[in-house]
Amino acid sequence: MKSNIQRVLRVACACVLSLAAAPAAQAYEEVSVVDGGALAGTVVLDGSVPGPKGYNLTTLPDAVYCGRISDGKGWRLLQPFNVGPKGEFRRVVVFLEGIDQGKPFGDYKPPRIEAVDCLFMPFMNVVRDLHDVVVVNMDPAMHDIQAYETSHLGPRVLFNVPLPISKRYPNEAGMSARVTKHYEGALITQTVKMTKGRRVFTMQCGFHAYMESWGLVADHPYYAITDDEGRFRLADIPPGTYKVKVWHPYIRDDIEQTVTIEPNKEAGLALNVEAPTGRLYANQMVENAYVRYTITEDVQSQIVPTLEKQSFDSAQ
């Protein structure tokens, strides 16, 4: 399982090569911002949304429970791209590159990542080095955190711990698809400790390979995650000229635009991201995919998508 995870991470690392390999900037200095400006804008994905990843549930644990979200033929799909009907690129990170001083970080609230319905949610976060993340299991299924930092040299393990199941689930519940309630297990708090120069954090479940969550490490507070309309806003920016970048683990790192921030004014910016083409991941799903493993009708009858029936088209 770990070798497969590492192979997936190396593919993703190729997309963030220059970001993860970039030399570390000087330490960020918190100062009082006088006559600061703001930046508001949108991010749009231009082109066809890449196909989803595909996972044969019969080869992984808890096929019945996790198969409540599946395509009805024994496959679980994972779409890393969250894109609206007009190309709105949702939940991607927008940030200023290379800013070395500005407003204080403010109070830090550790990102909370939930394992729910055999997904890690949210899929994208902003995290801080030497600060905590909180992970919790909301399922009656055993999950496991395998957290990595990534770079052009490949992944390095940050921590690997199990996610306890809530004691409120009855013992006889097992992995039954009849269990529909979500109870919070014990909170697992881990500190993110990155190697110098690395800025990409990722988690996967050691049992269910389709459970992923990614984070970009913030070395200053001028980061935002786009909303459902692909919008973002950064405030209290010291006047000056900056590079604005977009980050997602499966797009190129050279997507950037220059913007000038004037005192007490808000600048607008429309960022267009060219949709990647070709094969992005080893297990990229295609229509009428070649089925490597036989899924008998008897097995298919047990894997019922009672929560969500996925399709290749809807996952794009």
Task: Evaluate if residue 186 carries a pLDDT over 70.
Answer: yes
Q: Measured in whole angstroms, how far is the alpha carbon of residue 43 from the centre of its chain?
A: 17
The pLDDT assigned to 14 comes to: 44
**Position 256 in a domain:** yes
**DSSP structure class, residue 122:** -
Rounded to 5 degrees, φ, ψ at 64 are: -70, -50
Q: What would the two tokens of residue 119 be?
A: 């997904």
Q: Which residue has the tokens 């996972």?
A: 55
**Residue 21 — very low, low, confident or very high, per pLDDT cuts 50/70/90?**
very low
Helix or strand holding residue 11 (H, E): helix 2-15
Mean pLDDT computed over 282-303: 72
**Residue 179 — very low, low, confident or very high, per pLDDT cuts 50/70/90?**
confident
- What is the rounded distance in angstroms from the CA atom of residue 48 to the CA atom of residue 316? 8
**Position 314 in a domain:** no
**Residue 297, Ramachandran bin (φ over 0: left; ψ between -120 and 50: alpha; else beta):** alpha
**Residue 11 — very low, low, confident or very high, per pLDDT cuts 50/70/90?**
very low
Domain total of the chain: 1
The pLDDT assigned to 300 comes to: 76
Question: pLDDT for 211-224, tens place per residue?
Answer: 999 999 999 999 99
Mean pLDDT computed over 169-192: 80
**Position 228 in a domain:** yes
**Residue 22 — very low, low, confident or very high, per pLDDT cuts 50/70/90?**
very low
- What is the rounded distance in angstroms from the CA atom of residue 308 to the CA atom of residue 69? 5
Q: Identify which of 213, 214, 202, 209 has the alpha carbon closest to the alpha carbon of residue 282.
A: 209
Q: What would the two tokens of residue 149 be?
A: 């930092």
Q: Are the CB atoms for 116 and 182 separated by under 8 Å?
A: yes
Instruction: Give the 3-state secondary structure percentages of the chain, helix then strand then coil, rounded to 5.
Output: 10, 40, 50
The pLDDT assigned to 177 comes to: 61
Task: Evaluate if residue 316 carries a pLDDT over 70.
Answer: no
**Position 69 in a domain:** yes
- What is the rounded distance in angstroms from the CA atom of residue 310 to the CA atom of residue 306? 11
Q: Which residue has the higher pLDDT, 275 or 174?
A: 275
Task: Evaluate if residue 23 carries a pLDDT over 50.
Answer: no
**Position 143 in a domain:** yes
- Domain with 296 in it: 2-309
Query: What residue type is 203 in one-letter code?
Result: M
**Position 99 in a domain:** yes
Task: Evaluate if residue 33 carries a pLDDT over 90.
Answer: yes
State how far the alpha carbon of 121 is from the alpha carbons of 56, 116, 135, 181, 259, in Å: 21, 7, 10, 17, 32
The pLDDT assigned to 18 comes to: 41
The strand ranges marked E within 129-199 are 131-137, 143-150, 156-163, 188-192
SS3 205: strand
Question: pLDDT for 100-122, tens place per residue?
Answer: 999 999 999 999 999 999 999 99
Q: What would the two tokens of residue 74 be?
A: 């024994």
Average pLDDT, whole number, for the chain?
A: 87
Mean pLDDT computed over 184-199: 92
Mean pLDDT computed over 23-41: 87
**Position 316 in a domain:** no
Helices (H), 199-247: none
The pLDDT assigned to 19 comes to: 46
**Position 315 in a domain:** no
Mean pLDDT computed over 228-245: 98
Mean pLDDT computed over 125-131: 95
Name the strands in the sheet holding 223-225, side by side, starting at the edge strand that comes first in the sequence. Answer: 223-225, 93-97, 240-247, 256-261
**Residue 137 — very low, low, confident or very high, per pLDDT cuts 50/70/90?**
very high
Q: Identify which of 54, 57, 62 has the alpha carbon closest to the alpha carbon of residue 79.
A: 54
The pLDDT assigned to 51 comes to: 92
**Residue 293 — very low, low, confident or very high, per pLDDT cuts 50/70/90?**
low
- What is the rounded distance in angstroms from the CA atom of residue 184 to the CA atom of residue 308? 22
Contacts of 78 (CB under 8 A, 6+ apart): 52, 53, 55, 210, 212
The pLDDT assigned to 224 comes to: 97
Task: Evaluate if residue 24 carries a pLDDT over 50.
Answer: no
The pLDDT assigned to 198 comes to: 87
Question: pLDDT for 54-103, tens place per residue?
Answer: 999 988 999 999 999 999 888 999 999 999 999 999 999 999 998 999 99
Task: Evaluate if residue 4 carries a pLDDT over 60.
Answer: no
The pLDDT assigned to 292 comes to: 53
